[in-house]
Amino acid sequence: MELAINKVSLNGSIDIPSDKSISHRSIMFGAIAQGKTTIKNFLRGDDCLSTLQAFKDLGVEIEDDGEVITVYGTGFSGLKQSKKAIDVGNSGTTIRLIMGILAGTTFVTELFGDHSIAKRPMNRVMLPINQMGASCTGHDGTEFPPLTVKGTENLQPIEYHMPVASAQVKSAILFAALQAHGESVIVEKEKTRDHTEDMIRQFGGDITVLGKEIRLKGPQKLNGQEVIVPGDISSAAFFLVAGLIIPDSQIILNNVGLNPTRTGIIDVIQQMGGKLTIKETGNKANKAGTLTVETSVLKGIEISGEIIPRLIDELPIIALLATQAQGKTIIRNAEELKVKETNRIDAVATELNKMGANIEPTEDGLIIHGNTALHNAKVTSYGDHRIGMMLQIAALLVKDGTVELEKAEAISVSYPSFFDDLAKLYQ
């Protein structure tokens, strides 16, 4: 599709779509809890709908009236064998987290997804789950989907020092640990988003977190709850950056989730000199706020170490932000970008360089030379929603010509109304 290009400025207020990570988990926790769970502000994007359908396939009754989703939880023991292989679509969160839930079942489940999922490594989840006594195997003996998960009623606890900083891996182990007989200990490489830990507590579970060490005794029973999903800071990130780099702009973003394990992009914006104000709302369980950004003069910085897990999904749009900063920005320790929906290190460098950026891909990140003017080009999302949205924001910087984006439909995975929301801000 042809992308909208420079419209002089962006001004106004938008409501950010609901948090993708919490939406996934709300269905999962509702399914494995006893009793009714109601979910408000659920993200009806393709990925989260894949999770919803997966649990319907596992015998969980789920109602959706368009406003509220109601999950009639069965507890772990009430899950039933699916009559068919479960299709996770493009959702890495679905396939990785559900492996931990299936680890304690008494049946065999087949999991598959689209061409992107078929290329995403699963050993990082398979290895600890198999150590606990389940059997997870990949296609033809590899670590890649389709996967077969054979559960066991005799899951054993685990002490696991995570080799990668991954909330998905941690969450899968936690779901299995809730069903294991004894205390599991997980030691994180770096602290990652803690929605799963928060929701274990919200649903009445018992978990102890001390620094990077997590302890959980199983088996546990959870109880249905009301979940109100805040806005997704990963979706807000595209408009935060747009407001900072498009001339004469001011954008107000409502109901943005502010879980501290997810707010690395706010730290980066502040370090780069961006004009950003925060008005906190929400509550302890659902931290949120209103964010306002204005066009800013930015400076390059280094982004590395423990902040990386707090902004891993925002790095593509942060790379675009860095192309408009004065000086050099270096991103390190972000090798996890290689195993997302696409290799985001290569995708960001290749597509933005087509438009005139000066970006060097490295083994674990990017070196971005600013400040560069961008021009028209033919680009592709590679079927990756975050690359697609980043390229649309980049197109707003192009003064003449047309930017053509291939595979724009991928954006619906997490933000179906993205183009409509952007249009509301045109001045």
Maximum Cα interatomic distance, the chain, rounded to a whole number of Å: 64
List the one residue out of 376, 269, 379, 371 whose CA is nearest residue 314: 269
- Whether 27 and 51 have beta carbons less than 8 Å apart is answered as yes
**Residue spans of beta strands (DSSP E) within 242-380:** 250-257, 275-282, 287-294, 302-303, 327-331, 358-361, 366-370, 378-380
List % helix, strand, coil for the chain (3-state, nearest 5).
35, 25, 35
40's tokens: 């408000």
CB 288 within 8 A of CB 255: yes
DSSP H helices, 147-222, are 167-177, 195-202
Q: Binding site for phosphoenolpyruvate: residue ranges? A: 20, 92, 120, 168, 344, 386
Binding-site residue positions = 20-21, 25, 92, 120, 166, 168, 313, 340, 344, 386
User: Among candidates 286, 342, 287, 355, which has minimal Cα distance to 315?
Assistant: 342
Peptide bond into 371 cis (omega under 30): yes
CA angle 211, 216, 221 (to 5 degrees): 140
Q: Number of C-alpha atoms within 13 angstroms, CB side, residue 143?
A: 11
Annotated active-site residue 313? The verdict is: yes
Residues of the binding site for 3-phosphoshikimate: 20-21, 25, 166, 168, 313, 340
Cβ burial of 419 (10 Å; 0-12, 13-18, 19+) is middle
Catalytic residue among 87, 313, 384, 421: 313
User: 98: which 2 tokens?
Assistant: 């559900």
**Catalytic residues, which ones?**
313
